[in-house]
Amino acid sequence: MKLISDHSMVGTGFNGEVISGISLTVFGIMLVIYGMVNEVAAILIPADIMIIAIGVAVIVVGVFTNRKNTVIHS
What is the Cα–Cα distance from 33 to 72, expressed in whole angstroms? 39
Provide the residue range defining the domain that includes 46: 16-66
The answer to whether residue 49 sits within a structural domain is yes
| 73 inside domain | no
Q: Give the pLDDT confidence score for residue 12 in this predicted structure.
A: 61
Question: How many domains would you assign to the chain?
Answer: 1
6 within domain boundaries? no
pLDDT over threshold 50, residue 57: yes
pLDDT at 9 over 70: no
Residue 1 lies in a domain: no
Q: Quick check: is 23 in a domain?
A: yes
Asked if residue 6 has pLDDT above 60, the reply is no
Share above pLDDT 90 across residues of the chain, in percent, rounded to a whole number = 59
